[in-house]
Homo-oligomer: A and B are copies of this chain.
Amino acid sequence: MSNEKGPDHSRRKERSRQAIFAATRALVAEEAYKNVTVEAIAARAGVGKQTIYRRWPSKSAVVFAALLALSEDAGGLSVALPDTGDLRADLKLVMRATAKEFADPSFDRPIRALNTEIANDAALAAEYREKLAQPLEEAKKARLRSAQEVGQLSADADLDLVLEVLYAPLFQRWLHRSGPLTDAYADSLVDATLRAFGP
């Protein structure tokens, strides 16, 4: 190889990236967010602090990258919505799974951490929207469009609004811990959304 940064270098770099991300996710899941520091991530990943700072400018940036990679590595975590031809049944399946996910303690802390970052940093919020929220929303809208084509959803429904009415109550209830995240609640959001935007 004429390139001195050959495959060994790339493999080492990727291994170190994975170790940093795994350490970050573990700490975010275990610790109060203010106790997750770049020092602690470096120690747990077995790398020097500078290895982290060479690639990410701040704790926020590495936390965000680690959580984003989690979804990318999973092949885009639940991107495609089921399409059995029955919109109500498909949405109930998805919303019940989403409610269960939000109610899971191992999901709770990392996603609170991510939300804290994006709520307080407009640039990160834009990156989050572009890289994570919008691809997910596009996949969901594809399912809603196929429902519009078969007359299960109003042809002139604003699909951004449909998704907000469906998901935002669950998100807010989780964020403010203002009520239970049950199957019945998931179903009631689907039913309300279909009454609002049905044919």
Expressed in whole angstroms, the Cα–Cα distance for A193 and B193 within the complex equals: 9
Known: A188-B161, A192-B161, A197-B192. A176 touches B120 (CB 8 A): no
The answer to the question of A158 belonging to the interface, with a C-beta cut-off of 8 Å to chain B, is yes
Please report the total number of A residues contacting B with Cβ < 8 Å. Answer: 37
Residue of B nearest to A172 (CB): B168
Known contacts A168-B168, A188-B158; A116/B120 CB under 8 A = yes
Chain B residue at minimum C-beta to C-beta distance from A115: B119
Question: A146 vs B21: C-alpha distance in the bound complex, in angstroms?
Answer: 53
Partner of A176 from B118, B169, B177, B192 at Cβ < 8 Å? B118
Per-residue interface assignment for chain A, residues 104 to 120, with 1 indicating a CB less than 8 Å from any chain B CB and 0 otherwise? 00000000100110111
Could you tell me if B112 and A176 are in contact, using CB atoms closer than 8 angstroms?
no
Count copies of this chain in the complex.
2
- In the assembled complex, the CB of A165 is this many whole angstroms from the nearest CB of chain B, namely 6
Complex CA–CA separation, A196 to B197 (angstroms): 8
**Of the candidates B119, B122, B168, B177, which one forms a contact with A125 in the assembled complex, judged by CB atoms under 8 Å apart?**
B177
Does A15 lie at the interface of the complex (its beta carbon under 8 Å from any beta carbon of B)? no
Contacts of A32 on B, CB cut-off 8 Å? 120
A133 part of interface (Cβ distance < 8 Å): yes
Name the B residues within 8 Å of A193 (CB-CB). Answer: 196
Residue interface bits A125-150, CB-to-B below 8 A is 1, else 0 = 11011000100000000000000000
Residues of B within 8 A of A197 (CB): 192, 195
- In the A-B complex, the 4 residue pairs with the closest CB atoms: A164-B169, A168-B172, A168-B168, A196-B196
